Structure formats: structure tokens, C-alpha cells
Copies of this chain bind each other. A is one copy, B any other.
């Protein structure tokens, strides 16, 4: 007998279920552990900055606007994350030749190497997190998370 949504929501003052989603406990936990692991191994990066590098691995030489769209981050965050990445020489920030408003972000070789190192650590923690969970279940969970994200993205009141 599984709970219906109304069972879940009708609990007196118990917002645990929805707050579990809102707070993203699992996400923030693995995020924290990863950032701690990077620091412990003297890898000068954060998971948030890695999101940018990962996007550049898939498609190099993106504009900041493109990176903002692809990583679901605000343009202000992008500016500051790239500031940090440039400082560490993981990317170059180059002015677009035909549009001086636009910056082109290019992965450096140092950046590529870093991604490979970080990838191993991420995989390690990902495996820890998913211990005892089948690949099928993981796939279900990922698809549901994506679906929820899409549901919210498609809200009328989300224009920015």
C-alpha cells in the first residue's frame, strides 16, 4: 500500500516530504562532500565551477549567455564563476570578434586535465551515494527529477 499524494500533503503540519525536495538534502550532501574532497586533494575547483567546465567539454567556446542557459545558472553567477575559472587558468575569456557585447569562454588544457581528475572523484562519491540502489532505480529517479525540473521551468510565471 503506497501513499497517495493526498496522504502525503494532508499530514497535519508535516511538510517534511516537500521540504525534503525543497532542501535537496541528498544533493547538498554530495555537493558538500565533493567540495571537501577537492580541497583535501588540493584540487582547486568547486562543483559549481565544474558545472561550467563540463558544459564546455560538451561544447567549447560558448558565450556566457549560452553557459547560463545550459547550466541553469543566473548570468550574475556565471560572471563570478568564470572570474574564478579565469583566475585559475582553467578557461580563457575572449571577446567575440563580431559582437563586443559577447564573451567567448574557451577551455584551456589545464582545464581539461582538471576535469579528468575531478571526474574520478565525482564518480567515487556518486557510487557511494547510490550504493544499494539499482541502475534501474537511479534511472527512474533521474528522469523524475528532470521531469519535475521541466514542470517548473514551463510555469507561465517563469520568464527569467
Q: Which residues of A contact B (CB under 8 A)?
A: 2-5, 7-9, 13-31, 33-34, 47-48, 50-51, 54, 57-58, 72, 115-116, 119, 122-123, 125-133, 135-142, 144-149, 151-153, 155, 158
Which residues in B have their C-beta under 8 angstroms from that of A57? 13-14
Contact of A148 among B9, B17, B130, B151 (CB under 8 A): B130
- Would A122 and B18 count as touching, CB distance under 8 A? yes
Which residues in B have their C-beta under 8 angstroms from that of A31? 22-24
User: Can you name 8 A-B pairs with beta carbons within 8 Å?
Assistant: A5-B135, A7-B135, A18-B123, A19-B51, A20-B146, A30-B148, A125-B152, A132-B147
User: Contacts A20-B146, A133-B147, A142-B17 known; A158 to B5 CB distance under 8 Å?
Assistant: no
User: Contacts A21-B126, A51-B23 known; A138 to B5 CB distance under 8 Å?
Assistant: yes
Alpha-carbon gap, A122 to B129, bound state (A): 27
Alpha-carbon gap, A117 to B4, bound state (A): 23
- Would B123 and A151 count as touching, CB distance under 8 A? no
Contact of A152 among B29, B152, B155 (CB under 8 A): B29
Question: Smallest Cβ distance from A145 to chain B, in angstroms?
Answer: 5
Alpha-carbon gap, A68 to B3, bound state (A): 29
